[in-house]
Structure 1
C-alpha cells in the first residue's frame, strides 16, 4: 500500500478513502487527485511512484493526452469572453485559407463542438511536420470534411486542438500554448502546459495490461468503438493512426512539440484550479463571466459519435455528461475533459467544484472513464451534495 500524501478536508474524507482504495487494490502506480470548492482547495492528494526511481511528489506532472483539449477550450472561451472571438463567426473569417474544400461556412462553435467534419489529414503528418507547425495548418486548410459540416458530430481526436490553435494564433499572434501560459497559467499559478513542459520531467506512462484492456473492451457501450479501432477504414482509425506517420514511441515525442489536442502536461492541482476558475473566483482570478461559462457548457452536439461510434455529448470544446466517455454520476451542468492516460477533469457549477485526477497508469478505455476515476467522482459528488 502506497503512502498517501497531501491534505483533505474531513468533509471530503470519502474522496481520500476512494483514492486509497485505488492504491490498495493495486490499480495505481502513481497519481494525484484534487478538488476545489468555492474557489478553495479542499482536496490535494498524491501517492505512488512517478517512475522506478522517483516517488510521486506534490509537483509531479504527467502527460494529459486529450484532457489537453480542455486547456485549449479554456483559452478559446477566454477570447470569446473578451470579445476577440465570436463562436458563430466562420473560421475562415479569422483564417481565410481554411475556406478551401467546402469549409467556408464552418463556424468556430462547430469546431469546438466536434461538428466540422474536419477530422482526417492526408497525407499523414510526420513528427517534423508537428514540430514545424506550418505544415499542419496547410494540411488542415486543404482538408475536406468527412461529413457535411453541422449535420453530425464526431470526435476531432487530433484536429480540434490544431484548428482552434490556428485561430488563436491568427487573432493573438501567439500559439495557443503560449497564450494559455500567459493569460491563464501565469495569473493562476498553474503547473499546466500545452506543449513542452518547461524542461520538467514527466511521470513515466505505463500502458494497461492485456487483462485490463480486455476488461475495458467488455463494456457493451464501447462495442462500436472497439470495432472501429481495429478497422483501418473507420473514421476513428483514419483520424488517429491514419493521420500521423510517426515511428518509435510517439508518446515520447509528443511533449517536444506543441500538439494542442493531446500533448499537454500537468497535475491534478493545476487542473482542478483551472476548472474552478472557469466558474468562480480563485485567489482573485475569475477567467470567465457566468454567462460565458454557461456558453462553454451549452450542448453543441449529443448522440451517436461518427468517430467514436458511441454516445457522446460536447459543449464548446468540453465533454459533457452522458455516454461512456463521462465516468460517474455528477451534476448535469458539469463540463470537462478526459484523456487516454486516465486523466479526467471537470467543473461543476451546481456545487461550485473543480475536480481533477491525473495518474500515470493509462486507462483501459480510449478516453478516461475507468473505475478509478469513477469512484473518485462519485465520492466527490456525494461530499459536495451534502454541503449544498
Structure 2
C-alpha cells in the first residue's frame, strides 16, 4: 500500500518492528570489536539505515559496510518486488535479501572507468591520447582533440546527444546507434566546461575497449574484475537465470515537476518515469549500457571498492596495480559547478570525489572516492576511515524527506568510523 504526503509516492513501512522484512548475512558479519568499532557504533549505523527505509521512499534497501577489510554489516530491508508505492503485498510479493541483485544505474560508471584504467595499465591505451586515435569517427563538431582523460573526468564536451522522439528512449539500448549519434554530436562550448556525461561517456569508453582488445565489453569486465573478484553478478545486463531474483525499480518520492523534470530529461535523454519503466524490462537487461546497467549486490560493490582500497589486491591476487589506482583516484577537477547536475562537483578520472567539510559521502570525506547512481545509490571507499561502503535502493526519488535521512546516515558513518 502507499502513504501519501503532499502528493508523494511512498511505501507503507508500517509502525512497528522491521525485523520481519530484514535480511541479515550473519555468517559474513564480524564482531565490531575486530575492526575497531563498538557494538553501539554499529547499532547506530544500522539504525540510520532503518531510518532511511522508514522515510517510505525505498521499497528495498540493501547495505554493506566493510571496515579494515572485514564485513561489519551486510543486510537488506523491504521488498524486492511487490512492495512499491501503489502495490499491495499479495502472494507474489518477494522480500529483498542481502544478495539480491540491483541495477546500479550511474554507479556503473566507476566500474567502466576502472576498466579503462586497467586497459591503460596493460598498455592498450594512453589516457592522455585523443579518443579519435582509437575511434577515427569521433571527430564530429570539434571533438577531434578530446582525450580519454577528459571523457573520464566529464570534460569531454559531449554530455548529451539527441535521441529522435520517434525512436523513443529504447535508442539508448542500441549500442551501434548510440556510438554513431555520439560521434556525430557537436562538442559543447568547445569541450571546455565541466558537465556530467550521464550516458555518452560510458559508450565511448566501452567502444574504445572493444576496438583495442577485440573482446566484447562484458568479456573484458568478466576477465579483469568479475572472475578475479569471485563475483556472482557484477555484470552489465542480467541473464535470464538471474532475473527472477532481481529487484524491481519504482518511481517514488515527491512528484518530479518543472524545472527538475526538464533537467532530469536532459541528463537522462528520456523522461524520469520512462527511465524507471525501461529499467524493469527484459530488453533493458538484455542490453549493455556501460554508463548505467551494471547489476550487483551491495556486498559485491563493497568488495570492488575494498579491492581499490587495498591497492588493487584481493585474496592475495594483484587485480590492479597500485600506481593505476593512484591515478584513478587523484583529483582531476577541483570543486566546480557541473553544468549537467547543476551543483558543484569534484571528479577524478572516472570517480566522484568527496569534499570537505561536507560532500557526497558525508562530512569531512575529502579523501573518499566512489560514485552515485540513480537515485541515492552509492558505492565508495574512504581511506581515512578504512571503509568500503555500498547503499543500494530501488525507489527513484529526487525530492523528499529521505534526503535528510540519507544525510544523517552519511554523517553517522563518518562519525562512528573515524580514527
Q: CA deviation at 1:243?
A: 10
Tell me which of 373, 376, 383 is aligned to 1:349. 383
2:325 is the counterpart of 1:293: yes
- Asked if 1 retains the 8 angstrom alpha-carbon contact of 2:361 and 2:368, the reply is no
Query: Which 10-residue stretch deviates more, 54-63 or 77-86?
Result: 77-86
SS of residue in 2 equivalent to 1:109: helix
Tell me which residue corresponds to 2:127: 87
TM-score, L = length of structure 2 = 0.79
CA distance in structure 1 between the partners assigned to 2:121 and 2:383 by the alignment: 17
Matches within 5 A, 1:94-105: 94-105=134-145
Cα distance change, pair 122–16 in 1 and its aligned pair in 2 (3 A): closer
Tell me which of 321, 336, 352 is aligned to 2:370. 336
SS of residue in 1 equivalent to 2:227: helix
- Asked if 1 retains the 8 angstrom alpha-carbon contact of 2:371 and 2:378, the reply is yes
- What's the CA shift string for 1:229-248, capped at 9, x where partnerless? 344xx7x644433699x799
SS of residue in 2 equivalent to 1:148: helix
2:352 is the counterpart of 1:319: yes
CA distance in structure 2 between the partners assigned to 1:248 and 1:15 by the alignment: 29
CA distance in structure 2 between the partners assigned to 1:33 and 1:169 by the alignment: 33
Matches within 5 A, 1:1-388: 1-3=17-19, 4=22, 5-7=24-26, 8=29, 9-10=31-32, 11=37, 12-24=42-54, 26=56, 28-52=58-82, 53-124=93-164, 126=168, 129-149=171-191, 151-199=192-240, 200-201=242-243, 202-210=246-254, 213=255, 227=259, 229-231=260-262, 237-241=265-269, 249-253=277-281, 254-280=284-310, 281-301=313-333, 302-322=335-355, 326-365=360-399, 370-385=403-418, 388=419
Gap runs ≥5 in structure 1? 218-225
Query: Which 10-residue stretch deviates more, 182-191 or 269-278?
Result: 182-191
CA distance in structure 1 between the partners assigned to 2:117 and 2:288 by the alignment: 19
Q: CA deviation at 1:286?
A: 4.2
Give the aligned length: 366
Tell me which residue corresponds to 1:223: none
Larger Rg: 2
CA distance in structure 2 between the partners assigned to 1:38 and 1:286 by the alignment: 18
- What's the CA shift string for 1:92-126, capped at 9, x where partnerless? 11111113332121111110110011122234365
Runs of 4 or more above 6 Å deviation: none
Q: CA deviation at 1:296?
A: 1.2
Q: CA deviation at 1:326?
A: 1.3
Say which structure is richer in strand: 2
SS of residue in 2 equivalent to 1:18: helix
CA distance in structure 1 between the partners assigned to 2:364 and 2:275 by the alignment: 40
- Asked if 2 retains the 8 angstrom alpha-carbon contact of 1:305 and 1:312, the reply is yes
- Asked if 1 retains the 8 angstrom alpha-carbon contact of 2:329 and 2:349, the reply is yes
CA distance in structure 2 between the partners assigned to 1:331 and 1:350 by the alignment: 8
Cα distance change, pair 356–247 in 1 and its aligned pair in 2 (3 A): closer
Query: Which 10-residue stretch deviates more, 344-353 or 171-180?
Result: 171-180
Cα distance change, pair 69–192 in 1 and its aligned pair in 2 (3 A): farther
CA distance in structure 2 between the partners assigned to 1:49 and 1:354 by the alignment: 25
Query: Which 10-residue stretch deviates more, 342-351 or 109-118?
Result: 342-351
- What's the CA shift string for 1:277-311, capped at 9, x where partnerless? 11213322443333322211222223111112221
- Asked if 2 retains the 8 angstrom alpha-carbon contact of 1:278 and 1:286, the reply is no
CA distance in structure 2 between the partners assigned to 1:146 and 1:36 by the alignment: 40
- Asked if 1 retains the 8 angstrom alpha-carbon contact of 2:152 and 2:350, the reply is yes
Q: CA deviation at 1:365?
A: 4.9
Cα distance change, pair 327–352 in 1 and its aligned pair in 2 (3 A): closer
Gap runs ≥5 in structure 2? 1-16, 83-92
